[in-house]
Structure 1
């Protein structure tokens, strides 16, 4: 068969695929950690179904998943795209837990490019979006996880930093290590396969100076297989915490 005909047939097959078929292809690629290729499939799915919040969430996730492999302007751009598509997902379906969760996740990934005031504003929005996601789906393990991270970070801000933030920005929300631990515990009970829940549960114990328990829990997380794009980064945080114990 001549190359021109092969190209024509390939294009015709691609055009014939439905949004659901492109999404299925994207899901398969996402499942094996191929965010760039998954993104291409999801974009084709979105072209056929532009108001589909589920596809918009998937696109936001791929941009976020690509960030660890990027640097500089490319990394910042991917973070901005992740947030852009997650906000589009909420606009498409305000009652979707996953859409609100995507906004919270994307905000978290963008904080490294923000100044202190913007970080504080983003932190408040992250908690609000995670709370909304959990209200819409009480079984969302990642909503619990994000609330755990929020409490973990807020509880870790020292008194001097709080006084400065209060003077400049009007204050920092209060967080609790106990609440962080409870959220990670719930996330772990809902989805025990996600090592990120296990590692952060252990890291919170370390922050509470419960060193023996922390070592046990973090080491358990480090033995779990990588399944998601940010698992290597989660394990690195766990190792760094262990080194300090």
Structure 2
């Protein structure tokens, strides 16, 4: 009887220490966010996005949902061939990213989704618009890495940024000088290689990191480094879950065969 009374007393005591949401097993938003995260882990990104946007209908300032919705819209945009669908997804991604950034301009996630959405929109924009956002992208990535120096995705996107800036064509360089007074920050292929190696060091199971690095070496006509990079990833025996990953793996194998000729 004493044990039962003690158990009831402890239950009441700890019940008062919990918030109403915690006592009830978490808020509805917490449940939905957990569900969305689980769907992402299962590579059901369309379903996950729908849940994140469901959260945002009743909680428009939910930081996690804003960052995740932005990220997923950007990823989905890259899967379409026509620019209209790409722009639709990339524009939504930017809108969500801006809202997340307004809530927290220091965090790595808000800065990364800002950079990712802008870089993606730049791909389907005209030369002037594309050049206009290049420095913005770099500033967001720098902020993301200040907040989280081990953020592999930010290192990866930074590597792609360096490669693009190191290989601007004559028209892009001329336009930049005429409209914006030139490129503010110089970039080299070695900068791109370093950034991608950092991304790989923090997340060695991302196939696209290796593929982009191999493409840089291929552009530099460094067949040995290109082949070595591809062999590094193909011998990891990564689990491939999506059509994009399977296609990327196929490209890696074809590229390796070409480099070994």
TM-score scaled by length of structure 2: 0.77
Unaligned runs of 5+ in 1: 1-15
Q: Is 1:63 equivalent to 2:70 in the alignment?
A: no
* Partner residue in 1 for 2:12: none
Q: After superposition, give the CA deviation of every residue in 1:126-154 in whole Å (9 maximum; x if it has no partner).
A: 11100010011111111111111111111
SS at match of 1:57: helix
TM-score scaled by length of structure 1: 0.82
Q: After superposition, give the CA deviation of every residue in 1:143-169 in whole Å (9 maximum; x if it has no partner).
A: 111111111111112456523542344
Q: How does 1:12-27 map to 2 (within 5 A)?
A: 18-27=28-37
Alpha carbons of structure 1 residues 238 and 174: separation in structure 2 relative to 1, 3 Å: farther
Q: Is 1:184 equivalent to 2:185 in the alignment?
A: no
* Partner residue in 1 for 2:50: 40
Q: Any conservation in 2 of the 1:101–1:130 contact (CA below 8 Å)?
A: yes
* Partner residue in 2 for 1:121: 132
* Partner residue in 1 for 2:94: 83
**Which moves more between the two structures, 19-28 or 229-238?**
229-238
For 2:107, which of 83, 86, 96 is the aligned residue? 96
Q: CA deviation at 1:89?
A: 0.7
Instruction: State how far apart, in whole Å, the 2-side matches of 1:237 and 1:49 are.
Output: 42
Q: CA deviation at 1:24?
A: 1.2
Unaligned runs of 5+ in 2: 1-25
Q: Any conservation in 2 of the 1:19–1:46 contact (CA below 8 Å)?
A: no
**Which moves more between the two structures, 234-243 or 193-202?**
234-243
Alpha carbons of structure 1 residues 237 and 83: separation in structure 2 relative to 1, 3 Å: farther
**Which moves more between the two structures, 102-111 or 59-68?**
59-68
Instruction: State how far apart, in whole Å, the 2-side matches of 1:244 and 1:119 are.
Output: 33
Q: After superposition, give the CA deviation of every residue in 1:69-110 in whole Å (9 maximum; x if it has no partner).
A: 433423211110011101111011112110100010111111
For 1:49, which of 51, 59, 65 is the aligned residue? 59
Q: After superposition, give the CA deviation of every residue in 1:183-228 in whole Å (9 maximum; x if it has no partner).
A: 1111111111111211122222223321121023135445644357
Q: Any conservation in 2 of the 1:218–1:238 contact (CA below 8 Å)?
A: yes
